[in-house]
Chains A and B, each alone.
Chain A
């Protein structure tokens, strides 16, 4: 019951906490043309661990915003306007903090949990792996 496969069906978090699970889910998302949502989710986790005193952290915040938030891609289209505005203002004022992407990550995670994750568990990629 605690095999990786059993864990993957418990939650999206369990799937993404397992290297094989995260890799297989990304293959699935690439085919669905929405791998950016997963990359953004991991980027938010990585950003939260970064040292705010390090100059690179502001550059990463700008990179996340430019690559995922302000574009018309799968992430930019799914985020609420207020969430995008909040991040944009923080980046423009160079007032970054570790939690600045939390709300955006939650919105994208909820979207993945309700859509891509459910579809993945019915997908041929997953069933073949099982």
Chain B
């Protein structure tokens, strides 16, 4: 089960701009 920190990190990185 993902920890809350893992879930939060995935949520943040999913919204970051991707490599051009």
Binding site for B on A (CB under 8 A): 16-19, 21-22, 39, 42-47, 49-50, 56, 59-60, 62-64, 66-67
Interface string of B1-20 (1 = CB under 8 A from A): 01011011011111111111
- Whether B7 contacts A39 by the Cβ 8 Å rule is no
Contact residue among B2, B4, B16 (Cβ-Cβ distance under 8 Å from A42):
B16
Q: How far is the CB of B15 from chain A (nearest CB, A)?
A: 4
Which applies to chain A's interface (DSSP): helix, strand, loop or mixed? helix
List residues of chain B with CB within 8 A of the CB of A49: 14-15
Q: How far is the CB of A28 from chain B (nearest CB, A)?
A: 16
List residues of chain A with CB within 8 A of the CB of B10: 46
A-B contact pairs, 7 of them (CB 8 A): A18-B20, A42-B13, A43-B15, A46-B13, A46-B15, A47-B11, A56-B2
- With A47-B11, A60-B11: A19-B5 Cβ-Cβ less than 8 Å: no
- Whether A46 contacts B17 by the Cβ 8 Å rule is no
In the bound assembly, the distance between CA atoms of A49 and B13 in angstroms comes to 12
Q: A19-B18, A19-B19 are in contact. List 8 more A-B contacts (CB 8 A).
A: A21-B17, A22-B17, A39-B12, A43-B11, A43-B15, A59-B4, A62-B4, A63-B11
